[in-house]
Amino acid sequence: MNNIFTSKKIKEFNDQGYLKISENSIFDQNEIIDLIKVFDELIPNYKDGEIIPFDKKYRYFNPDYHQEFDSRIKTHFVRNNIGFYGCARRHSYLRGNGSALRELDDNIFFGKRAVLIDRFFPQKIVNFVESKKIIRSLSELYSEDKLSFHNGSLAAVFPGCLGEPKQFHIDTPGFNKPSTNLLSKEKFLINVFVFLTDITDKNAPMRIIPESHKHYRKINDYLSTSFKKSNKINNIPQASGNLWEELLPENLQKPINLVGKKGTVIFMRSDILHASTENYSKSTRKVMILNYSKRSDDEFCKKIYHDPKNCRKLYSLFSDKSLVKKTFYGSGHPPIKYYLSNYKRDAMNFVRKNWRTPFRPLKKLFLIIFNKTNKEINDKEYLNIGSGTFWRDENVVGLDYDPDYAEVSVNLNNKSKLPFKDSRFKGIYSSHCLEHLKEDTVAWWLKESYRTLKAKGVLRVTVPDIKAYLDAYDAKDASYFDWIRGSSTYTFDSWLRLIVRAFAEPVVDDFSDQELEDLYHKFNHKQFLDFFSKKVKLVTDDRFLIPGCHKSWWSAEKMGEFMKKAGFRKVLIKSRRDSESQIFRGNKFNNTRPNMSFYIEAIK
């Protein structure tokens, strides 16, 4: 051990931002075996997650999707203090609620990362945390003896876990609210990774960009342009911030995977760009992760106010109390402003996630009280296709696929004839609906709209402008995607996958991220889009054609061509509040993501 941290090795750590120590160099084989034994006692085996696929007693009806899901398949759940996180690629289509092919869901751990955090460490793990071997190693790298331990976990990455596809992050923001001054002052934590299985390129190795810690200011300035934010704040996120690989300066070193034998130890700076990767194998990757700082760096601390009991318990297990005092001692005594800020945050998050819940049993009553219209359907002269379940208007018929609560229910995917006579309406409106239909279905829909419109009637369509998506991607404009970046299961998509999901959702997950990238560089924009249109056209399995998924792409030019083929005599490109129909200029229309939409009208 004394020969490991030579001046050459310390220089390598400072230059590269990480240092890899081979197996049996810090911990001997028996120590690793003991650590693995404790790990296996605490973290369940992958086989423990095996279930009967789509078991009847676990089914529940999801009104948002109008279908049944298995309550055991989730993106996040907790069992025995172990958090399970992640979304398998085949679960992305149903937003983490399982596979479209239910028979594949035979293990609730598939696609997950199981994490036991430090507050639940037993004494045997605490002994490793304050092991003289680790402390001595860190002291050599820091050139300082007094250290603080802030965070740790035992992590198992099960088969199918996606990690952070073509994304990166740094860890420093998790231990303070960093300003650019702090990060540029060379203050950092050291993350210690102890491999408890052999880690290869296939079973979720850590991916890093060597020397990236040296270019923090440059990277931050570069990202401030992409995110359209000030370069005086830290723009490099912690995990799940969707810092896509394409946004980084091109002259950084190429990413590498940290692989090695069981017992390998990695020391890594918290300000180096890194990411978890996908587990392509059938085995589980196991690792212990520990985070330390210099005790003199007062900026670094994690006050865990919400769990003082377990903080005190962990604190009591340490022989060296000074090692954990900064983060874990006194965590039960927060300032009053902590309560106020967290209460506000938690209350807002709760309302945002659950405000619909009390209304679900009372949907019909809600309709009667708040959405009642005086006119009968036959007396209304306008139609809104894809209106939404509760949408109502005195002059406009609302049509949606919801069979229970829509004013008029039609599943447009089935190409059923619209339940209206010829020349019935003065105007038809549709907003962010047609991208949910296949191209041939849109062509049919336009002909049906033509049939049901009166002479000189107006058809107004607004849909996402896919050309704007691709232009923003080419320009590295991440701010264009702020409405979706880092939200829901889109967190588990690479940037290009997120874009393709917006128009070819039934097929996008048949392709790897590398295949998507290769296709994008092989084709021009139209060829790339048409390639996926042809793939979607071949899909006939209704399980991959649910109403909510995106099945087609549109530009103003393409929509205009489809409208003319349907028989319309004139096509006009419009702005948000400009329409040939007075009623479609009203405040109830044109409100869905105007920054990413185009508006087009066809006259019969």
Assign residue 30 the CATH number of its domain.
2.60.120.620
Question: Helix, strand, coil shares of the chain as percentages rounded to 5?
Answer: 40, 20, 40
Task: Please tell me the pTM assigned to this model.
Answer: 0.91
DSSP state of 563: H
Number of domains in the chain: 4
* Same-domain pairing of 430 and 566: yes
Give 88's contacts (C-beta < 8 A, 6+ positions apart).
99, 110, 111, 160, 161, 162
| Whether residues 133 and 223 fall in one domain | yes
Does a structural domain hold residue 15? Answer: yes
CB-count exposure of residue 426 (10 Å: 0-12, 13-18, 19+): middle
Domain limit, last residue, from 261, 295, 329: 295
Among residues 286, 53, 282, 73, which one has the least CA distance to residue 159?
Answer: 282
* Strands 382-385 and 396-400, sheet pairing: parallel
- The answer to the question of residue 312 being in a domain is no
Question: CA 74 to CA 94: how far, in whole Å?
Answer: 11
How far, in whole angstroms, is CA 464 from its chain's centroid? Answer: 20
Which residues, in sequence order, are CB contacts of 202 under 8 Å at separation 6+? 279, 280, 281
Report which secondary-structure segment, H or E, holds 310: helix 308-317
Claim to verify: residue 180 and residue 265 sit in the same structural domain: yes
CA–CA separation, 570 and 560 (whole Å): 9
Alpha-carbon distance of 78 to 193, in angstroms, equals 23
Q: Is residue 327 part of a domain?
A: no
Location of structure tokens 């929509």: 559
Return the structure tokens found at 97: 């609620």
Report if residue 195 sits inside a domain.
Answer: yes
At residue 369, the pLDDT reads 54
Same domain, 23 and 129: yes
- pLDDT at residue 148 in the model: 95
| Measured distance CA(138)–CA(395) in Å, rounded | 72
Beta strands 396-400 and 408-409 are parallel
Same domain, 269 and 177: yes
460's tokens? 């107004």
Give the side-chain half-sphere CA count within 13 A for 342: 10
Domain membership flag for residue 499:
yes
Residue 97 lies in a domain: yes
Whether residues 204 and 235 fall in one domain: yes
Buried b / exposed e over 359-391, threshold 16 CB at 10 Å, is eeeebeeebeeeeebeeeeeebebbbbbbbbbb
* Residue 343 CB neighbour total at 10 angstroms: 10
Co-location of 441 and 568 in the same domain: yes
Q: Are residues 147 and 29 in the same domain?
A: yes
Are 145 and 267 found together in one domain? yes
156 and 265 belong to one structural domain = yes
Query: Do residue 253 and residue 121 come from a single domain?
Result: yes
Please give the DSSP secondary-structure letter assigned to residue 199.
B
d(CA 590, CA 577): 7
Residues of the chain with confidence (pLDDT) below 70: 1-2, 177-184, 330-374
Which pLDDT does position 356 carry in this prediction? 60
Q: Are residues 568 and 509 in the same domain?
A: no
Question: Is residue 425 assigned to a domain?
Answer: yes
Supply the range of the domain harboring residue 60: 51-106
Check if the beta carbon of residue 132 is closer than 8 Å to that of residue 26.
no
Q: Is residue 2 part of a domain?
A: no
Where among 271, 295, 319 does a domain terminate? 295
Look at residue 186 in the predicted model and tell me its pLDDT. Answer: 77
